[in-house]
Amino acid sequence: MHLCSRNPSSFVPSSKPSNPCVPLNLHHGANILARNTKGAELNKREINFDDKWASDVRGPTAERIRAAGDAYVVGGDERSVKVYFFADSPLQRLYARLRLRAGQRETEELTREYTALMKYRHHWYHAGLEASLPSVDLNRVFASDPSNMVGMAKSERQYFHRQQYRAAVALVGHKASILLDNFVCYEWKELGHGIDYSAFRARKLLRESAARLAKEWGIG
């Protein structure tokens, strides 16, 4: 009993087909395909990406630097490449201003506070509490789905970070947690917005809360 082979070599056109399963009217199309493939190989353009990043030394645009103001630092090897670090968040800009007039001891305190606040934001972000922009499926039925568990932790990792975040909220207190959420997590530019505090009182409460978190987490 003869079976049709799936080997590509059996479909190569020839004057005398070796496989009876290959129809004769495919030979002309196969010849055209072979000619087109050969032409595509000759016209193929090779793109070399090896020197792409080494040759691109333009850096940020003038608009990007203008938007950053003074909140950026240029580092790296000046002879070969420059690295631009932009402090775009309000928290980074605040502690950069505080470090300008701080001594050695206060600089270490500011570093501990900043690290604690960034850890607070780390737990908040990885807990899945950041707002998202989901799309709307117009083909589905708009009805509640109790099995979707909206707002619940979707993994053990999220559950762990929510535990750490809620413990931090309980430690600093309700009003301070609103301040940290708005300024550190949501990156609102106005310090004290949402708790009806002046900028001075809000900054004092921010630093006190950061010091308590640093002590609780052993940051030193």
Low-confidence ranges of the chain (pLDDT < 70): 1-57, 76-81, 141-150
Dihedrals φ, ψ of 83, to 5°?
Answer: -115, 125
Distance CA 72, CA 83 (A): 10
Dump pLDDT digits (tens) for 120-143: 999 999 999 988 777 777 777 666
Rounded to the nearest 10°, the torsion over CA 185, 187, 190, 191 is 40
What residues have CB less than 8 Å from 160, skipping those under 6 apart?
Answer: none
Residue 10 has what pLDDT?
A: 43
What residues have CB less than 8 Å from 173, skipping those under 6 apart?
Answer: 209
Q: Note the helical H segments in the chain.
A: 27-42, 52-55, 62-68, 90-100, 104-126, 156-172, 174-180, 199-217
Residue 13 exposed, middle or buried by CB count within 10 Å (0-12, 13-18, 19+)? middle
Distance CA 76, CA 86 (A): 14
Give the start-to-end residue ranges of the domains of the chain.
90-131+153-217
Residue 146 has what pLDDT?
A: 62
User: What is the value of pTM for the model shown?
Assistant: 0.65
What number of other Cβ atoms are within 10 A of residue 180's Cβ? 24
Residues 179 and 197 sit within 8 Å (Cβ to Cβ): yes
Dump pLDDT digits (tens) for 153-193: 888 999 999 999 999 999 999 999 999 999 999 999 888 88
Distance CA 209, CA 68 (A): 28
Rounded to the nearest 10°, the torsion over CA 148, 149, 154, 156 is -140
